[in-house]
């Protein structure tokens, strides 16, 4: 009988965790929709042997973002590079 009671508590805890996670997800989505810009992460090496070859990749990504913004952005929102 004690096993069933503890199992019920675990189920309630899981249910509360799922609801809380869902609430945080909804809050995040609403905040993302309210933003004026869409942030785009650019991951590249700043030092070391890969930095030389990745500099051109970073520049191409920035040029693409500028071109997309010049044409009106995505869904009417400008792209904002992050990590540059």
Number of other CB atoms surrounding residue 65 within 10 Å: 19
Q: Are strands 37-41 and 78-82 parallel, antiparallel or unpaired?
A: parallel
Placement of tokens 């051109």 in the chain: 56
Domain count along the chain = 2
Residue pLDDT, tens place only, 73-83: 998 889 999 88
45/67 same-domain check: yes
Query: What is the structure's pLDDT at 68?
Result: 95
Query: What is the structure's pLDDT at 15?
Result: 80
84/59 same-domain check: yes
81/48 same-domain check: yes
* Average confidence (pLDDT) over 56-67: 91
DSSP string, 23-83: HHHHHHHHHHHH-SEEEEE----SSSHHHHHHHHHHHHHHHHHHHHHHTT-BTTBEEEEE-
Query: What is the structure's pLDDT at 72?
Result: 94
Q: What is the pTM of this model?
A: 0.56
36 has a pLDDT exceeding 90: no
* Owning domain of residue 80: 36-84
* Average confidence (pLDDT) over 11-29: 80
């Amino acid at each position: 009988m004690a096993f069933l009671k503890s199992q019920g508590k675990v189920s309630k805890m899981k249910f509360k965790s799922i609801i809380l996670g869902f609430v945080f997800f909804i809050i995040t989505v609403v905040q993302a929709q309210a933003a004026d810009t869409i942030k785009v992460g650019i991951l590249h090496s700043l030092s070391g042997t890969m930095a030389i070859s990745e500099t051109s990749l970073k520049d191409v990504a920035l040029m693409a973002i500028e071109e997309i913004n010049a044409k009106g952005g995505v869904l009417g929102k400008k792209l904002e590079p992050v990590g540059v």
